[in-house]
Homo-oligomer: A and B are copies of this chain.
Amino acid sequence: MSYDRLIAYLEESDHLQSAVRLLQWDQETGMPSGGQEARAEVLSTLAGLSHQRATSPHLRELLEFAESEAKTPDRIRQLELVRRDLDRASKVPASLVERLAKATSTAQQVWSKARQERDFQRFRPHLEEVVALKREEGALLAPSGGSAYDGLLSDYEPLMRTADWSILFGELERELPNLAREIHERQGRVRERLARLEALRGPFPRERQLHLCRGLAESLGYDFSRGRLDLSPHPFSETIHRGDSRITTRIDESDLVSSVFATLHETGHALYEQGLPEDLSGTPLGGFCSMSVHESQSRLWENLVGRSDAFWHDRWSRVREDLPVLSEVRVEDWTARSRLVRPSLIRTESDEVTYNLHVLVRFRLEQALVDGNLAVSELPSAWNEAYRKMLDTVPSHDGEGVLQDVHWSAGMFGYFPTYTLGNLLSAQFFRAAADQGATGNLPALLTWLRQKVHARGHMLETPELAFQATGRKPSASDFLAHLRERYLG
C-alpha cells in the first residue's frame, strides 16, 4: 500500500517530466522563433517544480514507509534506485545546485557564441567556474576513497571508477591509432573511386529522403503508432511518455549518408525506449539502464547493422527506384561510402573506427581538469596536441577543436566515456546475438535485444546487464574484433 503510494508519487513526477520533454522536443522541431524567451521561462519553472518534488520530505517519508514493508526482488531494486536518486540529491546542497544551474546556463550561452567566433578566451572564465563547481560536486558524490572525477563518473555508471575506464581506454589507445592508419591506407583506391562518383553527391530531394528514412525506421521494427519522425538541426530521440517515443533526423540534399545514418542511430535509441517494460513506465525501474546501454542500442543498429553489406543488399533496388540519381551506383559503392575511415576533427561526423579516439581525448582532458592536473587556460593547446597524436590532425581554430562540444559548458563531465562504452557494448551485444543465432534477420535481432536488454529496464547496472546478456563483462575485445573483421578481414 505504501509502496503503491510511492509509485503514484513517482509517476506524477514523471508526468511533469513528460511535459518538459514535449516542451523541449517542440522547441527543437517546430516552435516559432518568437517563443524562445517564454519557453525558457516555462522550462525553468517546471524544472524547479520537478526539483522540489525530487527532494521533498514527503518523498523521503513515502520511501521510508515503503522500505519498511516486505518486498519482492523487483520492489527491492525499485526502492534502491529511488533511494540512490534521493541520496544523491541530498548530498549536493541546494546552494551548489543553484550555482551550477546559473553557471552552466550562462556558460552554454557564452560557449555558443565563442564557438561561432572561434574565441576560446571568451569562454575560458566561464569554463573555469564550471570546472570548479563540478569539482566541488564530484567531491561530494565521490565513493569512499574515490576522486572528484570518480564522483562525477558515478552519476553515469555507478559501478565504474576512473580506473575501470582507464583500462578500457588504455586498450583502445594501444589499438585504434594504428588500426585507423592501416585502414586509411588500405582505402586509398576506394576513396579515389568514390570521389569520382558524382551521383553520390545527389541531389537527393528532401521528401524522398524522408520517405526512405521512414521506411528504414519501420524495417528495423520502429512502431510508428507509438512514435513519429521529424526534422531538427541536431538529430535526437525523445520519449514523451509511454506510447510516444519520437525520433528526428536531418536532411542534406547533397549527402544521403547524413539522414540515413542519423535515422538508423535515433531509431536504435527509440527501439530501446519502445521495448522498456510498459507496466513500470514512469518509475526508475522502468527506465533505461544507462546512457552507455542507450548508446549501445543506437550504435548497434547504425554501425553493426546499418553499415553492413547484408543490410543494404536486398533493399538497394528499392532505394534506387526512389532516388533515380543513384541508378548507376552499385550497392558496393554505397556501403563502401558508408564505411570510409579518415582522420577527422569533428567527433559527431567521425567514422566508427576513429570515433572513440575523439572520446579518449575528452576523457583524458576532463579527468585532468577535474583532478586539477590541467588548467583551463592550457586546455586548447592540450587538445590540439592530443588530436595530433591520436588522430593525425590538428584543428586550424578552436571552433573545430576544443569548442566543438556543448557538454562541458553544460557541466556534463563524466558523460563522454559513456559514448565509448556504448560503442564497445554495441559490438559485444551483437557478437552474443550472433553466437546465439539471432542475427539472421532484423526481427530476430530485435527480439533478442528486447529480451536481453530492453525488457530488463533498470533491473541491473551496465556491467551486470552486459554479463547476463553476453556472458562477459564489458570489454573492448568484441569491438576491436569487429573493426578488424570488417575493415581488414
Chain A residues near B (Cβ < 8 Å) = 11-12, 15-16, 18-20, 22-23, 26, 30-39, 41-42, 45-46, 49, 223-228, 240-244, 246, 281
Contacts and interface: CB of A to CB of B under 8 A. Distances in A.
A117 B241 CA distance: 32
Contact of A226 (B35, B46, B226): B35
Given A22-B26, A45-B16, A38 B242 contact: yes
Contact of A42 (B42, B228, B241, B246): B241
Contacts of A30: 228
A281 to B, nearest CB: 7
A161 B18 CA distance: 42
B26 A42 contact: no
A15 B240 contact: no
A433 to B, nearest CB: 27
Contact of A15 (B18, B45, B223, B244): B45
A39 B244 CA distance: 9
Contacts of A37: 242-243
A462 to B, nearest CB: 27
A19 B34 contact: no
B241 A32 contact: no
A34 B228 contact: no
Nearest to A29: B30
Contact of A34 (B26, B46, B244): B244
A23 B244 CA distance: 12
A227 to B, nearest CB: 6
B281 A12 contact: no
A225 B38 contact: no
Contacts of A224: 32
B241 A38 contact: yes
Contacts of A225: 32-34
B45 A243 contact: no
A226 B19 contact: no
A240 B23 CA distance: 10
Nearest to A227: B32
Contacts of A281: 38
A187 to B, nearest CB: 41
A201 to B, nearest CB: 27
A52 to B, nearest CB: 11
Residue from the set A35, A241, A243 with the largest chain B CB neighbour count within 10 Å = A35
Contact of A31 (B31, B38, B45, B244): B244
B35 A240 contact: yes
30 contacts: A11-B45, A15-B42, A15-B46, A16-B45, A16-B46, A16-B49, A18-B38, A18-B42, A19-B20, A19-B23, A22-B22, A22-B26, A26-B26, A31-B244, A32-B228, A32-B246, A33-B225, A34-B223, A34-B225, A34-B226, A34-B227, A35-B226, A35-B241, A35-B244, A37-B243, A38-B242, A38-B244, A39-B240, A42-B241, A49-B49
A466 B396 CA distance: 66
Contacts of A38: 18, 241-244, 281
A480 to B, nearest CB: 39
A49 to B, nearest CB: 8
Contacts of A240: 31, 35, 39
A312 to B, nearest CB: 28
Contacts of A34: 223, 225-227, 243-244
